[in-house]
Amino acid sequence: MQIIIFDDAQQVAANAAEWVAELINKKSNPVLGLATGSTPISLYQQLVNKYQANQLSFKNTTSFNLDEYLGINASNEQSYRHFMNENLFDHVDIDKNRTFLPTCNQGENPRAQGLAYEEKIKQAGGVDLQILGIGANGHIGFNEPTSSLASRTRIKTLTKQTLTDNSRLFKQDEFQPTLAMTMGIATILDARYVLLMATGEKKSQAVKDMIAGPLSAMCPASALQMHENTIVLLDKAAASKLEEQEYYQWANDQNIKINQKFGLYHNY
Contacts of residue 243, Cβ cutoff 8 Å, sequence gap at least 6:
212
CB of 149 to ligand PGA, least distance (A): 17
- 99 is a site residue for ligand PGA (CB under 6 A): no
- Closer CB to ligand PGA, residue 33 or residue 37? 37
Identify residues 133-192 at the interface with ligand PGA (CB under 6 A).
133-135
67 is catalytic: yes
139 is catalytic: yes
**Site for ligand PGA (CB under 6 A): which residue of 33, 37, 102, 184?**
37
Q: What amino acid occupies position 55?
A: Q
- 220 is a site residue for ligand PGA (CB under 6 A): no
- Of the candidates 68, 87, 128, 139, the residue annotated as catalytic is 139
b/e per residue, 174-207, with b = 16+ CB within 10 A?
eeebeebbbbbbbbbbbbbbbbbbbbeeebbbbb
- Closer CB to ligand PGA, residue 39 or residue 79? 39
- 78 is a site residue for ligand PGA (CB under 6 A): no
b/e per residue, 37-54, with b = 16+ CB within 10 A?
bebbebbbbbbbebbeee
85 is catalytic: no
- Of the candidates 128, 144, 165, 190, the residue annotated as catalytic is 144
- 85 is a site residue for ligand PGA (CB under 6 A): no
Contact 139, 202 (CB under 8 A): no
- Of the candidates 67, 118, 190, 235, the residue annotated as catalytic is 67
Q: What amino acid occupies position 156?
A: K
Nearest Cα to Cα of residue 240 among 207, 194, 197: 207
Number of continuous H segments (helices) and E segments (strands) in the chain: 8, 10
- 101 is a site residue for ligand PGA (CB under 6 A): no
137 is catalytic: yes
What residues are labeled active site?
67, 137, 139, 144
Where do contacts with ligand PGA occur on this chain (CB under 6 A)? 37-39, 133-135
